[in-house]
Structure 1
């Protein structure tokens, strides 16, 4: 799906459309492209995996005198923080690609940081890229934004509950 060299002088890996396709097929960024049910199942599976994996770590960091429910709340707090970082990374990746797709110009480097060039998209390429942004990328960004918002609310609730327990 690359644009030919006659139309676009941008190297293959730096073309916005190819960056979009590489994100969409990557293992990590493809999470946000799943259907809502599969997305929630994936998050739940990762939550369970992290919950089991982080119990020994949390136990080794805090004193052994802490009660079980405090340990569980602290573990869930750490997992929610990890999820927040994951969602922020997803958001940054998708928003970078969306910005490059929606822009009428594309900055690219041919061989290094010192020789940056600017390519002005043709109207046909620009329309195609903007359609992809509005109908493909923005729904992914919206889902990730909601996930960030929910993670932040959960962090606040967990912090309140944990401080009430102490």
Structure 2
């Protein structure tokens, strides 16, 4: 759905709708576009992969100083922190796209950082972009936001459990 050059002077790659399609097709951001069941399965598999890799590395490094339960909780804590970073990245990417789609003006660069321009969207393009933002992109943004919230809550809970085990 690229807009013609007469209607939109913004370069093809910097048009918000094209940025959305590129982000949606990317390997990392396409995770959040999956159906809910596939999304949770993918997250679970990633968590198990991170957990196993961390478990082998942590057992090798600190197995003499920690008990197995402390080691497992530390491993879960690190894996949850990695998930927090993943969800923050997802949230930042989708929120950038939503901001560009909802905005009535678009800042773009013609050939470099020194010659930026501002384009005011036509009402038709603004309506189309806002519909895409609210009905297609916002669910992905909410998934990422809930992932950040759940990751923070799990980190807090894991910290409490870890400190109780240290007693």
Structure 2 equivalent of residue 15 of structure 1: 15
CA distance in 2, matches of 1:47, 1:70: 18
Q: Secondary structure at the match of 2:47?
A: helix
Unpaired segments of 5 or more residues in structure 1?
none
1:42 aligns with 2:32: no
CA distance in 1, matches of 2:60, 2:149: 30
1:85 aligns with 2:85: yes
Q: Secondary structure at the match of 1:108?
A: strand
Higher mean C-alpha deviation, range 49-58 or range 77-86: 49-58
Q: Deviations over 1:117-136 (max 9, x none)?
A: 00110000000000001101
CA distance in 2, matches of 1:3, 1:145: 31
**Alpha-carbon offset, residue 55 of structure 1:** 1.5
**Alpha-carbon offset, residue 57 of structure 1:** 2.7
**Alpha-carbon offset, residue 143 of structure 1:** 1.1
Structure 2 equivalent of residue 148 of structure 1: 148
Structure 1 runs of 4+ aligned residues shifted over 2 Å read 56-63
Q: Deviations over 1:121-164 (max 9, x none)?
A: 00000000000011011111111111111111100010000000
Structure 2 equivalent of residue 71 of structure 1: 71
Structure 2 equivalent of residue 163 of structure 1: 163
Higher mean C-alpha deviation, range 75-84 or range 54-63: 54-63
Unpaired segments of 5 or more residues in structure 2?
none
1:56 aligns with 2:56: yes
TM-score by length of 2: 0.96
Structure 1 equivalent of residue 115 of structure 2: 115
CA distance in 1, matches of 2:66, 2:14: 51
CA distance in 1, matches of 2:60, 2:122: 58
1:138 aligns with 2:163: no
How many residue pairs get aligned? The number is 166
**Alpha-carbon offset, residue 63 of structure 1:** 5.3
| Cα RMSD (Å) | 1.0
**Alpha-carbon offset, residue 61 of structure 1:** 4.6
Structure 2 equivalent of residue 101 of structure 1: 101
